[in-house]
Amino acid sequence: MSVAVAKPGEIKHNYLNAGDTVRSWLLTTDHKRIAVLYLVSVTLFFAVGGLLALLIRLELLTPQGDLMTSENYNRVFTMHGVVMIFLFLIPAIPAVLGNFLVPLMVGARDLAFPRLNLASWYVYMAGGLIATWAMVNGGVDTGWTFYPPYSSSYSTSQVTLTIIGAFLVGFSSIFTGINFIVTIHKMRAPGLTWFRLPLFIWAHYATSVIIVLGTPVVAITLLLVAVERVFRLGIFDPALGGDPILFQHLFWFYSHPAVYIMILPAMGVISEVIACFSRKRVFGYHFVAFSSVAIAVVGFLVWGHHMFTTGQSVYAGMVFSLLSFLVAVPSAVKVFNWTATMYKGTIEFRAPMLYVMGFLGLFVIGGLTGLFLASLATDIHLQDTYFVVAHFHYIMVGGTIFGYLAGLHFWWPKMTGRMYPEGIAKLAALIIFAGFNLTFFPQFVLGYLGMPRRYHWYPEEWQMLHVMSSAGTALLGIGYILPIFYLLWSLRNGALAGPNPWGATGLEWKTDSPPITHNFEETPIVTEEPYAYENHHQQEEVASGTGASTTKG
Amino acid sequence: MNNGHDTHTHIVPIKVYLLVYVALLVLLVATVGAAYLPGHHTLLNNVIALTIAVMKAVLVVLYFMHVRYSTRLTWLWASAGFFWLVIMFILTLGDYFTRHWVPVQGWE
C-alpha cells in the first residue's frame, strides 16, 4: 500500500476539497462527509441540551421555584433528557467517529450502503427537528421515559409529536447499525481477520447488534403510546384495560441496552487511545473484544432493574437483580485490561489520554454506584432520587462525552489534516473533569439524603449541595465551549498533521490526512496483529510525536 | 440455485409463494377455529394461538423474506432475532405469572 505524499505547497485532493457547494455536501454519499454532517448536527443538539441543563441548574440554585413554574420545569428537564439521549448520546460516537472510521479501519472505500447512510442523516435531522419543533410549541412534560398512563391519557403537552421525533431518530440509528454490520462482515481488507480487527470495530459491531435488535422494540412501544393517546385503545392505561408495567418492560428492553449503545463505542475509543499512548498492544485483546459482545448480550437481560419499585413481581426483581450484577463482569474485564495495558507502558499524557484517564475514573465510580441500584433492598431507598441521576450521568454522560472527546481529539488530525493546540486542549480536559465531578458528585449525597429527581422545590438544608452542583455546571459549560473554539481555530491555523502524527497502528493512519475520497489509493493488505506497537521502532514514534508532550514512563 | 452466475439471488417459483400463501390462510382459519373451541379463554387456547402464530411467522421469514435461500450468516442473524424475542417474552411473562396483582375497579 502506498501513501502518496504531497509536495511542499501542493494542495492534495481529499474528501474535504472534493466539492465545496452546499449541494455537494447535502447529497454526498461519502461516509467521511456524512460524519462531518453528523458532527455539526450533534454539536448543535448538544448545545441545545446543554442550555436546558444550565436552566435546570439555575433553577435549583435556590430551594424555591423562582425561575420557572413547576410545569415549565417539567418541560425543561424532559426536553433536556430527550435531546441529550436521542439526539446526542446515542448518535455521537457511532454516527460521527464510527461513520468516519469504520470503513477506514477495515480498509474499505465506503460503508456497504452509502445512500442508506445519507438517508440515516436525513431521518435523524427530521426526527431532531420534529422534537425541537415540539419543544418550541409547548414542549413535553412526561420525562424522557414517556411513562403511561400519564403520557397517554393525562398530559396535555406535545407527547405525540415528540414520540414521532424519537421514533424517526430510532430508525436513523437502525440504518447506521445495519450499515456497520454489513461493512464489518463483508468489506474487510485482505488479511484483516476477525481477530486482527481494531477493538473500536469490535465495539461498534456489538453496538450495532444492540441497535438492530433493540431499537425496533422501543420504536413500536412509543408508537403504541401515541396510538393509545390518539385512539384511546387500552394498551398501557389500566383505566382502559391496559398494563403500565408492560410499557416499562417494553421501554426498558431497549432503553437499558441503549446505555450500552452509548458506552460501548466510547470503550472502543478508549482501547485505541490507551494502546497508542502507552505504546503497547492491548492486554488481553480477545477478552476485551469478547467483553463487548458479552455486554451486548447480557445487557438485554437486565432491564427489570429499572422496575423494582413499580409493582413488578418480586421474583422477577430478584432475577433481574442477579442478572444485573453479571454485567459488572465484562465491564470489569475491560477496565482491568486497560489498566494492565498501561502498566509498564511508555505513557504519553496527550489530551486524548487525559480524557481516557477521566473516562476510567468516571466509569468506575458510575459502575460501582450501579451496584447499589441493582440491589433490590438499597434500590428501594435510592429509586427516583438524585443518586440515580448522578449514577447515570457518570456512566452515560461522563463515559460517552469523555470517550467522544478523546476520540475527537485523537482522530482530529486524520479528519482535518491539522493538529489541535495541545496545551489548551489539556486545560479543557482538566476543566471538564473538574466541572463534571463538582456537578454530579454532590448529587450522590443529595440522593442518599432523599432528594427526589424531577423536583424543583427542596428543603433549605440541601441548598449547599445544590449550589456546588450548579457551580460545577458553569465550569463544565466553559470546558465544553473551549474545544469548539480551539478546534475551529485549528482548521486554519493548526500545524499540518501528516498521515500519522501519533505513530499509531491501524489502517486509518496509513492513508493521507485528510483522506482522499476513496480512502486508499490501493486496497491495503493486512499482515500483522492489531496494536503491534512493539514491532515498530520506538525512535520513529518519538520522532513523529514531537511537540509539548509530557512523557512519563 | 436457478442461476449459476448469480449467487446472490434465488428465483423462487410463483407456485411456492402461492402455496405458502394458502398455508398462511389455512393457519389463519385454524387460529379463528381454535378460538371457538370449548373452554374459551383458557391457557390451552392461548398456547394454540401462539403456536400457530409462530408457524406463520416462520413461513414468512423462510419464504417471503428469503431466509431459506440465504447464507448461514443470515440464518444466524434471523435466529438471534428470535432468541432475543424469546428472552423478552420469558422475562416479561415471568413477571406476569408471579406478580402480586392489585385489583383495579371494574377489571377484577
Residue B88 contacts A, CB cutoff 8 Å: yes
Q: Say if the Cβ atoms of B94 and A314 lie within 8 Å.
A: no
Of the pLDDT bands very low, low, confident and very high (cuts 50, 70, 90), residue A2 is very low
Percent of chain A at pLDDT exceeding 90: 92
Chain A CB contacts of B81 under 8 Å are 213
Name which of A52-66, A106-120, B38-52 the model is least confident about.
B38-52
Of the pLDDT bands very low, low, confident and very high (cuts 50, 70, 90), residue A447 is very high
Chain A CB contacts of B83 under 8 Å are none
- Of the candidates B84, B97, B102, the beta carbon closest to that of A311 is on B102
- Of the candidates B87, B102, B107, the beta carbon closest to that of A301 is on B87
Of the pLDDT bands very low, low, confident and very high (cuts 50, 70, 90), residue A537 is low
Tens-digit pLDDT profile for residues A12-37 = 789 999 988 999 999 999 999 999 99
> DSSP string spanning A415-431?
HHSBPPPHHHHHHHHHH
Average pLDDT over residues B72-97: 89
Q: Does position A535 have pLDDT exceeding 50, yes or no? A: yes
Q: Say if the Cβ atoms of B98 and A313 lie within 8 Å.
A: yes
| Torsional class of A217: left (φ above 0), alpha (ψ -120 to 50), beta (otherwise) | alpha
The residue of A306, A313, A320 whose CB has the most chain B CBs within 10 angstroms, and thus the best one to mutate to test that interface, is: A313
Residue A217 contacts B, CB cutoff 8 Å: yes
Contacts 24+ apart (CB under 8 A), A244-247: A244/A147, A244/A148, A244/A149, A244/A310, A245/A307, A245/A310, A245/A311, A245/A312, A245/B95, A245/B99, A246/B92, A247/A147, A247/A148, A247/A221
- Of the candidates B84, B87, B98, the beta carbon closest to that of A315 is on B98
Average pLDDT over residues A303-314: 94
Residue B94 contacts A, CB cutoff 8 Å: yes
Average pLDDT over residues A398-408: 97
Residue B81 contacts A, CB cutoff 8 Å: yes
Residue B90 contacts A, CB cutoff 8 Å: no
Chain A CB contacts of B102 under 8 Å are 311
Average pLDDT over residues A184-209: 96
Q: Say if the Cβ atoms of A300 and B80 lie within 8 Å.
A: no
Chain A CB contacts of B100 under 8 Å are 311, 313-314
Residue B80 contacts A, CB cutoff 8 Å: yes
A225–chain B nearest CA distance, Å: 18
pTM of the model: 0.91
Of the pLDDT bands very low, low, confident and very high (cuts 50, 70, 90), residue A551 is very low
Q: Say if the Cβ atoms of A238 and B104 lie within 8 Å.
A: yes
Q: Say if the Cβ atoms of B91 and A301 lie within 8 Å.
A: yes
A528–chain B nearest CA distance, Å: 26
Of the pLDDT bands very low, low, confident and very high (cuts 50, 70, 90), residue B36 is confident
Chain A CB contacts of B80 under 8 Å are 209, 213
The residue of B91, B101, B104, B108 whose CB has the most chain A CBs within 10 angstroms, and thus the best one to mutate to test that interface, is: B91
What is the predicted pLDDT for the residue at A368?
Answer: 95
What is the predicted pLDDT for the residue at A454?
Answer: 95
Average pLDDT over residues A358-378: 96
Mean pLDDT for all residues in chain B: 83
Q: Does position A1 have pLDDT exceeding 70, yes or no? A: no
Of the pLDDT bands very low, low, confident and very high (cuts 50, 70, 90), residue B40 is low
Q: Say if the Cβ atoms of A320 and B84 lie within 8 Å.
A: no
Chain B CB contacts of A319 under 8 Å are 91, 94
The residue of B72, B73, B79, B84 whose CB has the most chain A CBs within 10 angstroms, and thus the best one to mutate to test that interface, is: B84
Q: Say if the Cβ atoms of A185 and B73 lie within 8 Å.
A: yes
Q: Does position A504 have pLDDT exceeding 90, yes or no? A: yes
A292 neighbors A267 (Cβ within 8 angstroms):
yes
Mean pLDDT for all residues in chain A: 93
Name which of A2-6, A36-40, A52-56, A110-114 the model is least confident about.
A2-6
Average pLDDT over residues A424-428: 98
Dihedrals phi, psi of A503, to nearest 5 degrees: 65, 40
A320: nearest CA partner in chain B:
B91
- Of the candidates B73, B92, B104, the beta carbon closest to that of A249 is on B92
A·B CB contacts under 8 A:
51
Which strand (E) or helix (H) includes residue B12?
A: none
Distance CA A77, CA A534 (A): 49
Of the pLDDT bands very low, low, confident and very high (cuts 50, 70, 90), residue A552 is very low
End-to-end Cα distance, chain B = 58
> DSSP string spanning A79-95?
HHHHIIIIIIIHHIIII
> DSSP string spanning B18-62?
HHHHHHHHHHHHHHHHHHTSSSTT-HHHHHHHHHHHHHHHHHIII
Give A274 or A6, the one with higher predicted confidence.
A274
Of the pLDDT bands very low, low, confident and very high (cuts 50, 70, 90), residue B6 is very low
Q: Say if the Cβ atoms of B91 and A316 lie within 8 Å.
A: yes
A106–chain B nearest CA distance, Å: 19
Contacts of A330 (CB under 8 A, 6+ apart): A290, A291, A292, A294, A295, A298
Amino acid A161 reads L
Average pLDDT over residues A374-385: 95
B74: nearest CA partner in chain A:
A182
Tens-digit pLDDT profile for residues A475-485 = 999 999 999 99
- Of the candidates B84, B88, B95, the beta carbon closest to that of A316 is on B95
Q: Say if the Cβ atoms of A316 and B104 lie within 8 Å.
A: no
B81: nearest CA partner in chain A:
A213
What is the predicted pLDDT for the residue at B77?
Answer: 86
Q: Does position A262 have pLDDT exceeding 90, yes or no? A: yes
Q: Say if the Cβ atoms of A213 and B81 lie within 8 Å.
A: yes
Distance CA A512, CA A495 (A): 15
A463-493 and A422-449 helices cross at what angle (nearest 10)? 160
Q: Say if the Cβ atoms of B99 and A249 lie within 8 Å.
A: no
Of the pLDDT bands very low, low, confident and very high (cuts 50, 70, 90), residue B103 is confident
B102: nearest CA partner in chain A:
A311
Distance CA A271, CA A504 (A): 12
Sign of CA dihedral B99, B103, B104, B108: positive
